[in-house]
Amino acid sequence: MRGEILSFDGTAGTGLISGDDGARYSFVSSSLQSPAVPAPGVRVDFVPEGEEATQILILAGGPSTVGVAGGLSAPTDTTVAGFDWQKLFLSFEGRTRRSHFWIGWLILLGVGVVANWLPIIGGLISLALIWPNLAISVKRLHDMGLTGWLIAIPWVGSIVFFMVGLVMVGMGAVAGGMTVDDYDGDPAAILALMGPGMIAFILSGLIPLIFLLGIGLVEGQKGDNRFGPNPKGE
């Protein structure tokens, strides 16, 4: 029978195939009869055994048939060991598992740290990192069965509480009849000024952290959901 690979996890060695008969079959990497890397969208030939696919042969000419006899190399293929980097960082479609999310997040964090040391171009790199950060977070929300628009929570919450903190600090300064010169070089005075808005400043930093841990630690939905198949193939 022939079908199409829906998902493949190179780390776990498991995946999911949509057969031409309309059914879906799970498979393990040991069932692959081709040296090519399986990836979503690749056409395969396989032998169904119950709900599992065995003796899987990736068909030549598929989008990821590098190494298959008679197949075409794919210079634009971004899949490495079952890991599609382009989809991870640039696409808002589908789902991504927790381990891939953290790998992507750590890579973006490292790039961001380096960018902070670069004058001018570092700022442009930091702006460019907003897109991939949103992409990996939206796909994690999808994996949990949630709309990607919830990504606005940490951004809006952080900005709102930061602005509240600034307003509270300003109101405290006005109420005390103080000027900037009154706080120059006086740590105690500065701490006293920030006191009213300190909780708001802390919350502006905690909300993104709590959201990050939430999407990075909570397990995704089993099976398919409205955003696509389970990236674990479960």
- Domain ranges, ordered by start, for the chain: 2-81, 85-144, 149-217
Three-state SS for 26?
strand
The reported pLDDT for the residue numbered 55 is 87
Q: Determine contact, residues 158/205, Cβ cutoff 8 Å.
A: yes
Classify 2-81 by CATH class.
Answer: mainly beta
- Look-up of token digits 């442009």: 124
Interatomic CA distance for residues 118 and 201, integer angstroms: 27
Give pLDDT tens digits for 166-207.
888 777 666 655 555 555 555 555 555 566 678 888 899 999
Q: Among 92, 96, 77, 95, which Cα is nearest to 131's?
A: 92
Give pLDDT tens digits for 108-144.
999 999 998 988 898 899 999 999 999 999 999 999 9
Give pLDDT tens digits for 6-35.
888 877 788 889 888 888 889 988 888 876
Residues ≥6 apart with Cβ < 8 Å to 221:
143, 144, 145, 230
Q: Determine contact, residues 6/43, Cβ cutoff 8 Å.
A: no
Interatomic CA distance for residues 18 and 135, integer angstroms: 26
Residues ≥6 apart with Cβ < 8 Å to 233:
7, 8, 9, 12, 14, 15, 16, 26, 27
User: First vs last Cα of the chain: how many Å apart?
Assistant: 21
